[in-house]
Amino acid sequence: MQSPPRSGARLRGYAIAAAAVIAVLIVAGRITGLLVDWLWFASIGYAGVFWTVLATRALLFAAAFAVSAAVIGASGLIAHRYARMPVPLHVATAQSRDRLEIVGELAGLMAPRIPWRTSIAAAAVVVGLIIATSQMSNWDIALRYLHQVPYGERDPVFSRDIGFYLFSLPAWLAFKNWLLQLLFCSTLIAGVVYAVRGDIAFDGPHRGLGPAAAAHGSALLGLFFLLKTWSYWLDRFLLLYDDNGVVVGAGYADVHVELPVLWMLAGLAAASSIALLANVRWRSYRLPMAAAVVVFGASFLFAVIYPALFERFYVKPSELELEAPYIAHNIALTREAYGLARIEVKPFAAEEGLNLAALQANRATIDNIRLWDVQPLMDTYAQLQEIRTYYKFFAVDIDRYRLDAGYRQVMLSARELEPAMLPDNAQTWVNLHLLFTHGNGVVMSPVTEKSTEGLPSFYLQDIPPTANGGPPIREPRIYFGEGGRGYVIVNGSMPEFDYPQGKNNVYTTYSGRDGVAIGGTARRSLFAWQYDDPNILLSGYLTNQSRILLHRNIQDRVRTIAPFLALDHDPYLVVSGGRLFWMQDAYTTSHWFPYAQPGIADGANYIRNAVKVVVDAYNGTVDFYISDSADPLLRTYQRIFPGLFKPMAAMPPDLRQHIRYPEDLFQIQAQLYRAYHMDAPEVFYNREDLWQFPRGLAGIDGANAAAPMAPYYMIMSLPGEPRAEFVLMLPMVPSQRENMIAWLAARCDPPDYGKLVVYAFPKDKLVYGPFQIEARIQQNTEISQQISLWNQMGSRVIRGHLLVVPIGNSILYVSPLYLRAASGQLPELKRVIAAYGDRVVMEETLGEALAALFKEAAPAAPGAVSVQGSADARASEALAHYNRAIERLKAGDWAGFGAELDALRPLLEALGVGQGGQRK
C-alpha cells in the first residue's frame, strides 16, 4: 500500500532532476556563447562594444526582473494575506464541495505540501524572468534615450524637437508596455490566489468577490486607469504617424477632433483612477463598473464613432481645402526624412544636335557605356574563370578605377571558396574547416570591351591573378567575403590549400591578424561545446598557434559588431594598394520620424547613409567611417560607442576614391521622389505630376518584359560640368505614360559625393522613354528578322538592359544583345543596338553602331556653281578624312578618330569660305 506514494515521489524526483539538468544546459549554453562572443570581440578590437551592449542588457534584465518579481510577488502575497480561508467542505453545498475538491486536487498535483508563500514567490520569480528576458531586446532603445542628441528641427503640431520622437517617444512607449505587462501579471496572480482561497466565487453561498478581493481589484484597476491616463497622453504624439489615405501624419480631423478627445479621455481616466483608489476603502461594485463604462464607452463614442462621422460629413466634402496645411507638413517632413529636400533640380534641353564631333568631345562617356549586364557576365565568369568546381563568383560589382587606359568603369567579382561545391565524398571535417579555408583572386573586365568571339576582355584574371591593364594584386587570398558562412581553423599542423597549379596544388599558411587563439585544451573544449563539434577538441591537427576565424561572411561580421545599422544589399570589392577590401554601405533608420511616409521594406520612415564600412578580405579588420556627420542617430551612437566610428578623413585616400552612392538608398529616394517632387499641396493631392520608373525588356527574347528599370552606374559628364564622373542614375516617366520626363543622378566622386540632381525635360517636348525605344527596336524589321533567325539556329537571344545615356544635352540609347547556345551556359556579346531620335541600328560593336547611327552625307562636290580649281581636291581630301574617321570609330580607335576629325575641320572651313567667296 506504500508503493504508489514512493513511486510518485520517485517520478517527481526524476522530473526535478531533469528540469535541473535542462536549466543547467541552457545556462551553460548562454555562458559559453557569451565567452565566445567576448573572445571574438576582443580579438578584433571591439571589446568595448561588447561590454556596452552586454552591460545594458544585464542592467535591463536585472532591473526588470527585480521590479517585476517584487511587484507580482507583493500582489500575490497581499492576496494571500487578506483572502478569507477556504470554505469548509462540511458547510458547503454539494456543488461548491465538488468545486473545492477539484481545486484541492489540482493544487495537490501542482504543488504538494508547498507553502503558499513559497508558491507565490516561485510564480513571481518565473513570471519575472519571462518579463525581464523580453525586456533585454530594448537595450538599443534605452541607450538611444540616455545618449540622445537634438535633431534641430521641430514638428509642426506640438513644436517638439524631432529628437523627442526619434529617441524619447519609443522609450516611453516601451516603458508603458512593460508597466501594462506588470499590471496584468500582478492581477492574474492575485486573481488565482483569491479564486483558490474562495474570495472569488461564481456559485454557492459566497458567490461574488470577497472584501479583500474587491479592495485589491479596485487598487489594481485604479493603477490601470492611471496608466491609461499616461497612455492617452502619449497617444497624442502617435497622431503624427496616422494615415487617413490623404495625409500621413496628423490631418485636420486628428488635430481638431482626435487631439481634444484624447485630452478628454485622459481626464476621464485620471478621475476614474482617483475614484477607484478611493474605492479600496468603500469597496463598491458599482464604482468600478461605472468607471469602466465611462472611460471605454467614451473612448468608443468619441475616439472611434465621432471622428469617423466628422471625417465623412465635414472633412471629405472640403478635403483639399482643410487638409492642405497638413499635406504640406507631410511633404516637407518626408522630404527631410529621406534627404529629398537636398535634391537640386536643373533643366535638360533634350536637344537633337548630337553628332560625331559631340561624341568625340564626350569620349569619357562613350568609352564607359556598359555593354555587359550582370547576369550574362556572371555566367561568363563562371565558365571561364572559376577554374575549379569549389570556386564561386557570388556577385558582380561595378566600380571605377584610374588605369593606364584612363578613367574606366569596370565590373569585377571575387573568386571565393564554396565548400558546399566540393564532391560529396570530399566534404570531410578536415577539408571544410582546415584545408579549404579561402578564395583566391579577382576577375575584372571593362564594361565596354569584348573579344572577337564576343567574350569579355580581362583586366584581371586567373589564379594567381595576372594584371593586363588592371591594378596589381599582391595579396589575393580571400578569407572574408560574401560566402564564408562557417568557421575555419588556421595555423595548424596541416598547411592550407591555396590554389591549383597544373596537376599539383600550392599550399599556404595564414599570416593575417584575425582569429581567436584555440590551441589550449580549455579553449578547444569551449568552442567544441559552443559549435557542437567534438572534432575541435579531438583533432590532432591543431597546435598551440592555431586560431579559429569566425563571422567570415562580411555582412554577418558587420551585423554582429553593429546590429543597430541596416546594411545595403550589395557590398562591393575594391582593389587598393595590392590588397582586397570589401566596402559595405550602412544606414541608420528609424520608424519614428513624424509626418514621414513609410518607404522602407520594414516600415521605417527615416534613413541616412551614415556609415561606410571597410572589411579587409585577408585580415578581417572592420573599420566604420562616418559618411554623414550631421545624422542625429549616428551622433547618438557615437556617444554610446566612443571609438567605434572614425572620421571619413581617416579612410585611406585610395579607398576614398571608390566610395559610391548606395543603390538601396537611391532606389528608396527615387521611389518616394516620384510623388514628393510635387511640393504644392494641391498638385500633390491631385497627383497631377506623378512619376514612375520606366519599363524595360531584358532576358531571353525579352521574356521579363514588365520589369521596371533599376538604377545603374555609369561614367559621364553631367551637363555643365567640366569632367567625367561616376554617377548612379535612373530615368523617370510620367504615370501611365512611356515618354521620358526627367532623370535622377547621384554623384559618387569626391568632392561632390552624395549630391543628388534631377534633370527635368521641357514639358512641351516629346522625349522617347526606354519602353518606347524598346518598341521601336522590336518594330525594326532588320533587327527582328535577325533575332528570329538566331533563335531558329539552336541559339537563344538574350536582350540586355537598355541604357539611357545623356551626352551633352541629348539622349542616346544603347542596349547589348547576347547569344547563348541552347544547351550552353556561355553568353557571348554579339551585337550592340543604338538609338537616337528616330533612328535605330544594330551592329557588331559599339563603335560601328555609333558610326552607323550618326553617318552623315559626305561633303558635296561642287555643283553647277564654279569654284576654285583646288576645291575638288579639298573635297576629296575631306571625304577621305571622313571615311578614315568612320573606320577608326568602328575599330574603337578614339585617338585616330579624333585626329581625323581635327584634320577634317580646316578642309570643311576652307570649302565653306571658297564657296562663299565664289558666290559673291
DSSP string covering 532-585, please?
Answer: T-THHHH-SS--TT-EEE---BHHHHHHHH-TTSEE-S--EEEEETTEEEEEEE
pLDDT category at 802 given cuts 50, 70, 90 is very high
Q: What percent of the chain has pLDDT over 70?
A: 88
The C-alpha atoms of residue 774 and residue 817 are separated, in whole angstroms, by 13
Domain co-membership, 831 together with 807: yes
The mean predicted confidence, pLDDT, of the chain is 88
| Residue-wise burial string across 437-474, b where 16 or more C-beta atoms lie within 10 A, e elsewhere | bbbbbbbbbbbbbbeeebbbebbbbbbebeeebbbebe
Asked, for residue 545, whether it belongs to a domain, the answer is no
Domain co-membership, 176 together with 226: no
In this structure, are residues 221 and 288 in contact, taking their beta carbons and an 8 Å threshold? Answer: yes
Print the domain residue range for 881: 871-919
**Lookup result for grid cell 565558365:** 383
Domain co-membership, 466 together with 608: no
Asked, for residue 33, whether it belongs to a domain, the answer is no
pLDDT category at 106 given cuts 50, 70, 90 is very low
Convert the pLDDT of each residue in 470-506 to its tens digit. Answer: 999 999 999 999 998 899 999 999 999 999 988 889 9
Cell of 318: 472640403
Domain co-membership, 303 together with 405: no
Residues 6+ apart with CB under 8 A from 202: none
The better pLDDT of the pair 880, 713 is held by 713
Q: Which of 410, 442, 477 is the last residue of a domain?
A: 477
DSSP string covering 159-213, please?
Answer: --BHHIIIIIHHHHHHHHHHHHHHHHHHHHHHHHHHHHHTSEESSSTT-EE-HHH
Convert the pLDDT of each residue in 889-907 to its tens digit. Answer: 666 666 666 677 667 767 6
Domain co-membership, 467 together with 607: no
Convert the pLDDT of each residue in 548-584 to its tens digit. Answer: 999 999 999 999 999 999 999 999 999 999 999 999 9
| Residue-wise burial string across 139-166, b where 16 or more C-beta atoms lie within 10 A, e elsewhere | bbbbbbbeebbebeeebbbeebbbbbbb
pLDDT category at 74 given cuts 50, 70, 90 is very high
pLDDT of the residue at 542? 96
Provide the CB-side half-sphere exposure for 21 (13 A, CA). Answer: 6
Domain co-membership, 697 together with 653: no
pLDDT of the residue at 878? 72
Domain co-membership, 283 together with 228: yes
Q: Looking at the predicted structure, is the pLDDT value of residue 527 above 90? A: yes
pLDDT category at 90 given cuts 50, 70, 90 is very low
Q: What percent of the chain has pLDDT over 90?
A: 71
Asked, for residue 522, whether it belongs to a domain, the answer is no
Q: Looking at the predicted structure, is the pLDDT value of residue 859 above 90? A: no
Instruction: Name the strand (E) or helix (H) holding 624.
Output: strand 622-626
The C-alpha atoms of residue 698 and residue 804 are separated, in whole angstroms, by 14
pTM (whole model) above 0.85: yes
pLDDT category at 864 given cuts 50, 70, 90 is very low
Nearest by Cα to 437 from 498, 514, 503, 371:
498
Strand partners, 4: none
The better pLDDT of the pair 361, 343 is held by 343
Q: Which of 136, 163, 197 is the last residue of a domain?
A: 197
pLDDT of the residue at 892? 64
Q: Looking at the predicted structure, is the pLDDT value of residue 97 above 60? A: no
In this structure, are residues 271 and 232 in contact, taking their beta carbons and an 8 Å threshold? Answer: no
Asked, for residue 825, whether it belongs to a domain, the answer is yes
What's the length of the chain? Answer: 920
pLDDT of the residue at 208? 66
Strand partners, 727: 714, 747
pLDDT of the residue at 49? 97
Domain co-membership, 724 together with 838: yes
Contacts 24+ apart (CB under 8 A), 783-789: 783/833, 783/840, 783/842, 786/831, 786/842, 787/701, 787/817
The C-alpha atoms of residue 506 and residue 382 are separated, in whole angstroms, by 22
pLDDT category at 863 given cuts 50, 70, 90 is very low
Q: Looking at the predicted structure, is the pLDDT value of residue 392 above 90? A: yes
Convert the pLDDT of each residue in 626-674 to its tens digit. Answer: 999 999 999 999 999 999 999 999 999 999 999 999 999 999 999 999 9
pLDDT of the residue at 873? 58
Asked, for residue 285, whether it belongs to a domain, the answer is yes
Average pLDDT (10-38) is: 78
Convert the pLDDT of each residue in 263-272 to its tens digit. Answer: 999 999 999 9
Asked, for residue 572, whether it belongs to a domain, the answer is yes
Nearest by Cα to 372 from 301, 451, 477, 472:
451
The better pLDDT of the pair 86, 391 is held by 391
Domain co-membership, 385 together with 456: yes
Domain co-membership, 113 together with 228: no
Residues 6+ apart with CB under 8 A from 180: 227
Cell of 475: 595579396
Give how many domains the chain has, as a whole number.
6
Q: Which of 458, 477, 496 is the last residue of a domain?
A: 477
Omega cis (within 30) before 419: no
Domain co-membership, 218 together with 310: yes
Average pLDDT (531-544) is: 94
State CA 167 to chain mean position distance. Answer: 21
Domain co-membership, 184 together with 217: no
pLDDT category at 203 given cuts 50, 70, 90 is low
The better pLDDT of the pair 765, 823 is held by 765
> Which has the minimum average pLDDT: 160-174, 842-856, 866-880?
866-880
Instruction: Name the strand (E) or helix (H) holding 14.
Output: helix 3-43
Asked, for residue 31, whether it belongs to a domain, the answer is no
Q: Please give the single-letter amino acid code of residue 342.
A: R
Asked, for residue 801, whether it belongs to a domain, the answer is yes
Nearest by Cα to 168 from 152, 144, 151:
144
The C-alpha atoms of residue 332 and residue 341 are separated, in whole angstroms, by 8
